[in-house]
Structure 1
Amino acid sequence: MTSIDEIRDNFALLEDWDDRYRYVIELGRTLDPMPEAEHSAANKVQGCASQVWLSRKLARKGGEPVLSYLGDSDAHIVRGLIAILLTLYSGRTPQEILATDAIAVFDEFGFREHLTPQRSNGLRAMVERIRSDARAALATAS
């Protein structure tokens, strides 16, 4: 799995947005496959122009809840956005998830100017779904 620092470094090397888009699409190809059964209504993220699914697994590591995700989309660029999101959030505790501002990271990469409003809304919907899962996991842990 690529780290967010590797993605940040690669983005810094790619000045042209066509190259950055190609890189994001490549990241999407690295997503773990999502079983067909996980492409369910419960896992579908509302508010995305494309079809997007996020499935959550809750595990415990040293008594601490840890959230892991699989994600998929019918759009190549969105699969890449999911790959970046999962790099930030998957395998993290609810506290780590809530302390991480994914939108700020995407803004730092320059996506605010280069995503359509529908894609930006979809990205926010994915982030909110994961943050909501983190809040729910904290509520049940206490």
Structure 2
Amino acid sequence: MAHPAAFQDIADNLGFLDDWEDRYRYLIELGQALPPLSETERNPANKVNGCASQVWLVSEAGEADGRKALIYRGESDAMIVRGLVAVLIALYSGRPVDEIAATDALAEFDALGLREHLTTQRANGVASMVDRIRSEARAAAAA
């Protein structure tokens, strides 16, 4: 399964950055580029449980290649986590629900070398975000 162009761009850019300080700066820049959620979207239904920082994910039904798809938007109150949200959105948003459900973002993060430099709390938070996204995709596929 090919990666979405936005995710591939991030993977390519991370590949050019050898220093972890530069990679963290890049993640922060990705997060800063995310459009903010509205105050009403920052609600308990959109909040991701299992994250140490505040994380909200909003999904909307869409279509990709004539199939059900989900479009994601998100935000966090922590700069690096917001960047991780941006990476997940680049990987999952706008894709058909069956592809979302089948895509293991944790394996993708490992391939990019991202998880090895995250604190345990942040890595657990990423896993919670991925679980939420994939379970929403499975539910949308079943509906």
TM-score, length basis structure 1: 0.93
Equivalent pair of 2:101/2:135 in contact (CA under 8 Å): no
- 1:1-142 equivalences in 2 (<5 Å): 3-61=6-64, 64-140=67-143
Give aligned pairs, total: 140
Deviates more, 1:62-71 or 1:87-96: 62-71
What secondary structure does 2:75 align onto?
strand
Deviates more, 1:80-89 or 1:112-121: 112-121
- Give ranges in structure 1 of 5+ residues lacking alignment: none
What secondary structure does 1:58 align onto?
strand
Equivalent pair of 2:59/2:70 in contact (CA under 8 Å): yes
- Give ranges in structure 2 of 5+ residues lacking alignment: none
Deviation track 1:7-42 (CA, whole Å, cap 9, x = no partner) reads 111111110000000000000011122111100000
Deviates more, 1:17-26 or 1:95-104: 95-104
TM-score, length basis structure 2: 0.92
CA distance in 2, matches of 1:133, 1:23: 28
- List 4+ stretches of structure 1 deviating above 4 A: none
Instruction: Give the CA deviation at 1:64.
Output: 2.1
Across the aligned residues of Structure 1 and Structure 2, the Cα RMSD in angstroms comes to 1.6
Equivalent pair of 2:62/2:94 in contact (CA under 8 Å): no
Deviation track 1:71-129 (CA, whole Å, cap 9, x = no partner) reads 00000000100000000001111111022111111111212220011101000000000
What secondary structure does 2:60 align onto?
strand
Deviation track 1:36-59 (CA, whole Å, cap 9, x = no partner) reads 110000000000000000011112
What secondary structure does 1:122 align onto?
helix
Q: Report the CA distance shift for 1:15/1:69 in structure 2 as closer, same or farther (over 3 A).
A: same
Instruction: Give the CA deviation at 1:61.
Output: 4.9
Identity %: 58
